[in-house]
A and B are shown apart, each in its own frame.
Chain A
Amino acid sequence: MVPLSWYLIFAAALFSIGLFGVLSRRNAVAILLGIELMLNSVNINLAAFWRYGDVRLMAGQVFAIIVFAVAAAEVAVGLALVISVYRSRRTVVADEIDMMKW
């Protein structure tokens, strides 16, 4: 059986890719995609820990499902925001959306 650490390394890699995407992409939709990646890396961790821990405890799986729900909600809200910003400012470039400064 594949050892637990493989899953963890895989998840860490996925997380880093996601983080990189979030920090470096200029398109807001791409940033959202990066966030999704990070969330899913967490899900992998959760599933892995459940499988390698006490399988009778369902907490890990339940948490993973909650994360799905959160992710779905977040995408819905996030995309709505992006569309809203696009409508008012005609752009989805993150650097150009800089209203939140002094």
Chain B
Amino acid sequence: MTTETLIWLIPLPPVLAFFLIVLFTNKSKALSHTIGVGAAALSFIGSMVVFVRALGVEHLGEHPFESAINWIPTGSTWFRIGVLIDPLGAAVLFFVAITIFMIFLYSVGYHNYGQPAGDHDVKGLPPHGATIEEHGHKHVVPSVEPMYSRFFAFLGLFAFGMYTLVVSDNLLTLFVGWEIMGLCSYLLIGFWYGKPSARDAAVKAFMTTRIGDVFMLLGIAFLYSATGTLTFREIFTEETLRALASTPAWFGMTASGLIALLLFIGTVGKSAQWPLHVWLPDAMEGPTPVSAMIHAATMVSAGVYAVLRMFPLLTADYGEHGLTVTMSIVAFIGAFTALFAATIAVAQNDIKRVLAYSTISQLGYMIAALGIGAYVAAAFHLITHAFFKALLFLGSGSVIHGMEHGVLHTGNHHVDPQDMFNMGGLRKKMPITFWTFLIGGFALSGFPLVTAGFWSKDEILADAFGHGHMAVFVTLAIAAFLTAFYTMRQITLTFLGEPRTEEAKHAQETPWTMTTPLIVLSVFAVTYGWVGIPEHFPLLGGLIPNWFHDFVGHTLAEVPETPEFSWIPLLTSLVVALGGLTLGWLYYRNVKSVSEDKFQIPLLKNKYYFDEAYNFLFVKPAYWFAENVVYKFLDKGVIDGILHAFGPSTQGFGSALRNYFDLPVINRAIGDGSAEITYWFGGKLRGIQTGRVQQYLVLALVTFIVIGAALFFFVLA
């Protein structure tokens, strides 16, 4: 099979699994997950084959794997869609395939496959546990998810969306995958739709990202209108880019700048950047594998991936005069979000929410890196982050799962198994989860030298410093410090010290289907950093070639240069990472309950009141406007008012006609008048109608004779 055919086939198994499960096998849990995991495995194998073949191609940047077909006729031309695997695509495909496969596997355990059906479980709510009798006494064990099959179906569709996005050679099918993921995230966040919070979170996620999406669609339309194509490799030719960069558009921007900005707004929504970040923390309502899938491996990364794809456009008018307007906006939003989300994460107590804000913050890193033109660093961080954040989410899911075990054991359902202050000391109960979570957490904090996160984060800082973007550098450095701090807070509160509740004492390690993905991902969370060690790094530089930079850098027409090595960013990242970790450990090892935590600042705890503000500024007014202005005032009042005015006015006209013309003139004078005259005549004449036939005959005869005589005399004679 040629590589191109194989690329076409990669997204198909998950979507076939979706249809198979939805249409046929949804009654059978075993069959459904076999199909789901099998499909993920097929796509995984296909992706790996493509990846390995891509590694073997020299100058993959100039000669990528590509193939296209006609899709939509547009006047005299066709709109073509196709697949493309260039170095960036190959690198992204690699991590996407691994994380997706791991998440499928993990879901089997997470949804308690093999456990009995719950006592009172209903569809649309999380399972509550089942009572079983063993050795003569009853005890409660976790119960299997009632909508188990459906979960795998959605997951399959989601995987389809992500693969489609990665292998697309054009913006439109990228957008198709993008939106399919949006739908799936909606369905998966609202998976337990029986919970009001889940259904609201689902709608919120969909609507918030859709704000970005409509701008993106506009950007796509703009780009298509301006260049006549949406295929990446046709847009990113030098003359097209130069033409776009020199075309003035609105708001004093060039066409390329404006298009890039519009597309970037899509990313702001999808990657949960400020000010559209509000949906992501709420999205934690979904089951944990969903959180990992959406927030680490795929959907949010897709936002960054789209900006990476559009990087030539973003930088088309990037010259000697510093950053362009668009790039400044991108850099600002990225850096601001990185810091802003990190501050919120410090005050969150829900284990998944901390990670959610951390994700927002880390995505801000990548966006900021792209804003300052650090293409390779952003791509690198995207991939390392995907590994360790998927690891952390799955780890947190494992922790929650363990805690739920404890909750079932004690039967106290008021204990929130996600609240970190209910945990503590889990390292002994759940060793595998602990060690892998520790690796993930250290990678996130950028623990020097060994973790992948260090190398990618350091590269971003070095780039920012090297190109003189000091504001970005400082902001990101502070954010990195906070990241290390809250990560250590999380680890300390969850795993270290002594159990703070009965439930934590009875937590249990999770089954192999859940721990295997943790182990696999933790391997990548460490080793993936080694493929991108800068050449001039002291001691280690050059031991392993900087493969990542060389490989992904060739996606662009001009391979970006690595910044000069400097000690300042390196020392900074060492200090912030180690400093944050140390401080976090020192402070939180002594904290025993929420009230002792000095960082529970209301402003941070309530996420700077963004939800409330948006609700007050946008959601409520929109509904008010829709209901009162558009529907009640305009439609029912003005327009129907005018229409209804036609009725009475016509009726008025009609009754005037009737009262002043029809009734007196036609009815009385003409109608009734003629009737009365006839009536009078009839009255007079009725005497001759006796009812006797013979009299009539005589009358007829007389009349005949008289008329005949008259005729004879007056006419004939």
Q: A residues engaging B (CB < 8 A)?
A: 19, 22-24, 31, 94-95, 97-102
Query: How long is the Cα–Cα vector from A100 to B689 in the complex, in angstroms?
Result: 8
* A contact residues around B701 at 8 Å (CB): 19, 23
Q: B residues engaging A (CB < 8 A)?
A: 686, 689-694, 697-698, 701
A-B CB contact pairs (8 Å), 6 listed: A22-B694, A31-B693, A95-B692, A99-B691, A101-B689, A101-B691
* A contact residues around B697 at 8 Å (CB): 22-23
- Report whether A98 and B691 are in contact in the complex, using a CB–CB cutoff of 8 Å: yes
Query: How long is the Cα–Cα vector from A40 to B453 in the complex, in angstroms?
Result: 133
- Report whether B691 and A31 are in contact in the complex, using a CB–CB cutoff of 8 Å: no
- Report whether B698 and A94 are in contact in the complex, using a CB–CB cutoff of 8 Å: no
Query: How long is the Cα–Cα vector from A101 to B686 in the complex, in angstroms?
Result: 8
Query: How long is the Cα–Cα vector from A14 to B687 in the complex, in angstroms?
Result: 33
* B contact residues around A23 at 8 Å (CB): 694, 697-698, 701
* A contact residues around B690 at 8 Å (CB): 98, 101
Most chain A CB inside 10 Å of its own CB: which residue of B694, B697, B701: B694
Q: Distance (Å) between the CB of A15 and the closest chain B CB?
A: 12
- Report whether B694 and A100 are in contact in the complex, using a CB–CB cutoff of 8 Å: no
Total inter-chain residue pairs, C-beta < 8 Å: 29
Q: Distance (Å) between the CB of B651 and the closest chain A CB?
A: 43
Query: How long is the Cα–Cα vector from A101 to B691 in the complex, in angstroms?
Result: 4
> Which chain A residue lies CB-closest to B690?
A101
Q: Distance (Å) between the CB of B708 and the closest chain A CB?
A: 15
* A contact residues around B698 at 8 Å (CB): 23
- Report whether B691 and A94 are in contact in the complex, using a CB–CB cutoff of 8 Å: no
Query: How long is the Cα–Cα vector from A78 to B653 in the complex, in angstroms?
Result: 60
> Which chain A residue lies CB-closest to B687?
A102
- Report whether A24 and B694 are in contact in the complex, using a CB–CB cutoff of 8 Å: yes
Q: Distance (Å) between the CB of A39 and the closest chain B CB?
A: 15
Q: Distance (Å) between the CB of A96 and the closest chain B CB?
A: 9
Query: How long is the Cα–Cα vector from A21 to B692 in the complex, in angstroms?
Result: 15
> Which chain A residue lies CB-closest to B698?
A23
* A contact residues around B694 at 8 Å (CB): 22-24, 31, 94-95
Query: How long is the Cα–Cα vector from A97 to B690 in the complex, in angstroms?
Result: 10
**A22-B697, A23-B697 in contact; A102/B686 too (CB < 8 A)?**
yes
Query: How long is the Cα–Cα vector from A99 to B692 in the complex, in angstroms?
Result: 8
Query: How long is the Cα–Cα vector from A77 to B145 in the complex, in angstroms?
Result: 95
Q: Distance (Å) between the CB of A99 and the closest chain B CB?
A: 6
Query: How long is the Cα–Cα vector from A31 to B696 in the complex, in angstroms?
Result: 14
* A contact residues around B691 at 8 Å (CB): 97-101
- Report whether A94 and B689 are in contact in the complex, using a CB–CB cutoff of 8 Å: no
* A contact residues around B686 at 8 Å (CB): 102
Query: How long is the Cα–Cα vector from A15 to B548 in the complex, in angstroms?
Result: 134
Query: How long is the Cα–Cα vector from A20 to B146 in the complex, in angstroms?
Result: 110
Closest 5 CB pairs of A and B: A98-B691, A101-B691, A102-B686, A100-B691, A101-B689
Q: Distance (Å) between the CB of B332 and the closest chain A CB?
A: 106
Query: How long is the Cα–Cα vector from A84 to B662 in the complex, in angstroms?
Result: 50
* B contact residues around A31 at 8 Å (CB): 693-694
A23-B694, A95-B692, A101-B689 given. 16 additional CB < 8 A pairs? A19-B701, A22-B694, A23-B701, A24-B694, A31-B693, A31-B694, A94-B692, A94-B693, A94-B694, A95-B694, A98-B691, A100-B689, A100-B693, A101-B690, A102-B686, A102-B689
Q: Distance (Å) between the CB of A24 and the closest chain B CB?
A: 7
Query: How long is the Cα–Cα vector from A102 to B679 in the complex, in angstroms?
Result: 13
* B contact residues around A94 at 8 Å (CB): 692-694
* B contact residues around A99 at 8 Å (CB): 691
Query: How long is the Cα–Cα vector from A98 to B693 in the complex, in angstroms?
Result: 8
- Report whether B693 and A97 are in contact in the complex, using a CB–CB cutoff of 8 Å: yes
* B contact residues around A24 at 8 Å (CB): 694
Query: How long is the Cα–Cα vector from A31 to B693 in the complex, in angstroms?
Result: 10
Q: Distance (Å) between the CB of A77 and the closest chain B CB?
A: 15
* B contact residues around A97 at 8 Å (CB): 691, 693
* B contact residues around A102 at 8 Å (CB): 686, 689
> Which chain B residue lies CB-closest to A98?
B691
Query: How long is the Cα–Cα vector from A102 to B691 in the complex, in angstroms?
Result: 8
> Which chain A residue lies CB-closest to B682?
A102
> Which chain A residue lies CB-closest to B686?
A102
* B contact residues around A98 at 8 Å (CB): 690-692
* A contact residues around B692 at 8 Å (CB): 94-95, 98
Q: Distance (Å) between the CB of B692 and the closest chain A CB?
A: 5
Query: How long is the Cα–Cα vector from A22 to B696 in the complex, in angstroms?
Result: 11
Query: How long is the Cα–Cα vector from A101 to B693 in the complex, in angstroms?
Result: 10
* B contact residues around A22 at 8 Å (CB): 694, 697
Query: How long is the Cα–Cα vector from A67 to B689 in the complex, in angstroms?
Result: 31
Query: How long is the Cα–Cα vector from A9 to B648 in the complex, in angstroms?
Result: 80
* A contact residues around B693 at 8 Å (CB): 31, 94, 97, 100
Query: How long is the Cα–Cα vector from A23 to B692 in the complex, in angstroms?
Result: 10
Query: How long is the Cα–Cα vector from A54 to B694 in the complex, in angstroms?
Result: 39
Query: How long is the Cα–Cα vector from A22 to B701 in the complex, in angstroms?
Result: 12
> Which chain B residue lies CB-closest to A95?
B692
Q: Distance (Å) between the CB of B693 and the closest chain A CB?
A: 6
* B contact residues around A95 at 8 Å (CB): 692, 694
Q: Distance (Å) between the CB of A46 and the closest chain B CB?
A: 21
Q: Distance (Å) between the CB of B685 and the closest chain A CB?
A: 9
Most chain B CB inside 10 Å of its own CB: which residue of A31, A95, A102: A102
Q: Distance (Å) between the CB of B358 and the closest chain A CB?
A: 108
Query: How long is the Cα–Cα vector from A102 to B692 in the complex, in angstroms?
Result: 12
Query: How long is the Cα–Cα vector from A32 to B203 in the complex, in angstroms?
Result: 98
Query: How long is the Cα–Cα vector from A101 to B694 in the complex, in angstroms?
Result: 13
> Which chain B residue lies CB-closest to A24?
B694
Query: How long is the Cα–Cα vector from A100 to B693 in the complex, in angstroms?
Result: 9
Q: Distance (Å) between the CB of B371 and the closest chain A CB?
A: 108
* B contact residues around A100 at 8 Å (CB): 689, 691, 693
Q: Distance (Å) between the CB of B346 and the closest chain A CB?
A: 110
Query: How long is the Cα–Cα vector from A23 to B697 in the complex, in angstroms?
Result: 7
Q: Distance (Å) between the CB of B20 and the closest chain A CB?
A: 86
* A contact residues around B689 at 8 Å (CB): 100-102
> Which chain A residue lies CB-closest to B696?
A100
> Which chain B residue lies CB-closest to A22?
B697
Query: How long is the Cα–Cα vector from A99 to B686 in the complex, in angstroms?
Result: 14
Query: How long is the Cα–Cα vector from A58 to B132 in the complex, in angstroms?
Result: 119
Query: How long is the Cα–Cα vector from A22 to B689 in the complex, in angstroms?
Result: 18
Query: How long is the Cα–Cα vector from A38 to B697 in the complex, in angstroms?
Result: 14
> Which chain A residue lies CB-closest to B697?
A23
Query: How long is the Cα–Cα vector from A19 to B694 in the complex, in angstroms?
Result: 10
Query: How long is the Cα–Cα vector from A9 to B697 in the complex, in angstroms?
Result: 23
Q: Distance (Å) between the CB of B148 and the closest chain A CB?
A: 91
Query: How long is the Cα–Cα vector from A94 to B698 in the complex, in angstroms?
Result: 14
Q: Distance (Å) between the CB of B214 and the closest chain A CB?
A: 85
* B contact residues around A101 at 8 Å (CB): 689-691
Query: How long is the Cα–Cα vector from A99 to B691 in the complex, in angstroms?
Result: 6
